[in-house]
Amino acid sequence: MTDLEFIEQSVARREAMILDANDKIWGYAELPYEEYKSSALLCDILEKEGFTVEKGVAHIPTAFTARYSRGTGRPVMGILGEFDALAALSQQAATPSKSPVVSGAPGHGCGHSCLGTGALAAALAVKDYLDAYEKDGTILYYGCAAEEGAGAKQFMARDGLFDGVDFVYTWHPASRNEAQQHCSVAIMGANFEFFGRSAHAGGSPHLGRSALDAAELMSVGVNYLREHMIDQARIHYAYVDAGGTSPNVVQDHSLVKYEVRAPKVHQMKELFERVVKVARGAAMMTETEMKYEITMAFSDYVSNDVLGRFATQCMTEVGAPRWDDDDYALAKAFLESYDPVTLDAIKAEIASEYGSERLDALLARPLDAEIHPYKDGPHPYESGSTDVGDVGYAVPTLNLNVATCCLGNVGHTWQMTAQSCSSLGHKGLLTAAKMLALCTVRTMQSPETIAAAWEEFKAKTGGVYHCPLPDDVMPPVGRY
């Protein structure tokens, strides 16, 4: 029996359990740091399968590690799992027209129900492989909470949970099948709070000091800053507290969240300090007080070319998800659910990625049915961020993208929520499980690949993890 045949049998034996776990976590749809049911379900399965589970790691109640070892325990292999949902993206399963389960409720609009359970199936298959072939090694499943919030992996890395690990694989639901080549950008987020003095806005406005004015002036200052930062940088904000709803009261308090992105950590930190200076200036202009609290920061994701080339061979051996006519019809319905402006942008993207001569055929059957080749760096940056980047600065790490949705799908939408609990999501996560497991056991069998991955890792990162967060910043559980 080949390695792949063994893995396929292992995944098939647990298919019903894994899909049931996906659908339950999809139904729980728990927000970052609140994934108590999802985390408990995954831990329960892992414990029953013989893993030693440590819960509440890195001061995060819903984060955990699950370990299974044989013999010497070397090499040590990691697989990352996520399971948090997004606010206000509730949607009926497999339904290509907007129809929330509960209006305004959370939903798995980034497919993390698939991500966590696909990774779970892979970890269990690697455990089976170690047992069946009496191999030395350790497989670690990382239960990574709150990727959509302030994250967990950077806190886990800071606490040394990736120390001694030889390599890490993970995956993400996507519209294409490929080892991720592009880099993600670093990000830092903070709460900026202004304190003023209330007064009657009509009778004695001169006695008031408006915290809302300060927040507004901060917005103006940051908007002027945007012209004077690098093209790849981004600044986002959201008002949390505008100081009340009475316009005839000078607002004595305001709170606004800011997030700053840039390709590298040092660029992100430099831009963040400029935003802090703008906030201080706004406080000076309004004679208010300002304080800020850093709540989150992720390092940029840097792909490991050694693992990327190696994993692409394994992905090709597994093959893309086996779509049928019903899957293509469902994907077409989801693609056509987008508004005309978005759909035009999707068509342009598909033509650019696959060639304009294939556009009509792909629009008729909009699912990726191939494995795309891996090209060595330098790799371009995309403006999203993930705490997987922090793992990549702690140990050689690679993310696989596996199709679970229609071509051109827009993430963080109700469409993604619906597809994550459909035949598309199910077939994609089971395929991802096989790919992750095969990549892991093949890398385990290739010490030269591990050594080369570490050589590249040290050249790109310096070989020592530096958390982008200050040491005193703890996970903002219940405060984010």
Return per-residue pLDDT of the chain as tens, 480 residues. 999 999 999 999 999 999 999 999 999 999 999 999 999 999 999 999 999 999 999 999 999 999 999 999 999 999 999 999 999 999 999 999 999 999 999 999 999 999 999 999 999 999 999 999 999 999 999 999 999 999 999 999 999 999 999 999 999 999 999 999 999 999 999 999 999 999 999 999 999 999 999 999 999 999 999 999 999 999 999 999 999 999 999 999 999 999 999 999 999 999 999 999 999 999 999 999 999 999 999 999 999 999 999 999 999 999 999 999 999 999 999 999 999 999 999 999 999 999 999 999 999 999 999 999 999 989 999 889 999 999 999 999 999 999 999 999 999 999 999 999 999 999 999 999 999 999 999 999 999 999 999 999 999 999 999 999 999 999 999 887
110, 148 contact by CB (below 8 A): yes
- Cα–Cα distance, 409 to 181 (Å, whole number): 19
The full set of domain ranges for the chain reads: 3-184+300-461, 186-297
- pTM for the model stands at 0.96
Domain 186-297 fold: Alpha-Beta Plaits (3.30.70)
Taking the CA of residue 307 as centre, how many other CA atoms within 13 Å lie in the half-sphere pointing to its CB? 33
Measure the CA–CA gap between 195 and 205, rounded to whole angstroms. 16
- Whether the CB-CB separation of 279 and 288 falls below 8 Å is answered with no
H-type helices in 287-385, by residue range? 305-318, 325-335, 340-354, 359-364
The pLDDT value recorded for residue 108 is 98
At 447 the pLDDT is 98
- Concatenate the DSSP letters of all residues of 441-471 into one string: HHHHT-HHHHHHHHHHHHHHH-SS---SS-T
Q: What are phi and psi of 136, to 5 degrees?
A: -75, 145
Cα–Cα distances (Å) from 480 to 31, 55, 150, 299, in that order, read: 11, 21, 7, 19
What is the CATH number assigned to the segment(s) 3-184+300-461? 3.40.630.10
What is the per-residue pLDDT across 192-245, written as a single tens digit (0 to 9) for each? 999 999 999 999 999 999 999 999 999 999 999 999 999 999 999 999 999 999
Return the exposure string of 62-101: e unless at least 16 CB atoms fall within 10 Å of the residue's CB, then b.
bbbbbebbeeeeebbbbbbbbbbbbeebbbbbbbbeeebe
Tokens of 139: 């497989």
Q: What is the pLDDT of residue 479?
A: 83
CB environment 34-59: b (16+ within 10 A), e (fewer): bbebbbebbbebbeebebebeeebbe
- Could you tell me which of 193, 457, 428 has the C-alpha nearest to residue 319? 428
Q: What are 389-419's pLDDT values in tens digits? A: 999 999 999 999 999 999 999 999 999 999 9
Distances (CA, A) of 239 to 218, 257, 274, 400: 12, 6, 19, 35
Cα–Cα distance, 186 to 384 (Å, whole number): 9
Is the bond preceding residue 75 a cis peptide, omega within 30 degrees?
A: yes
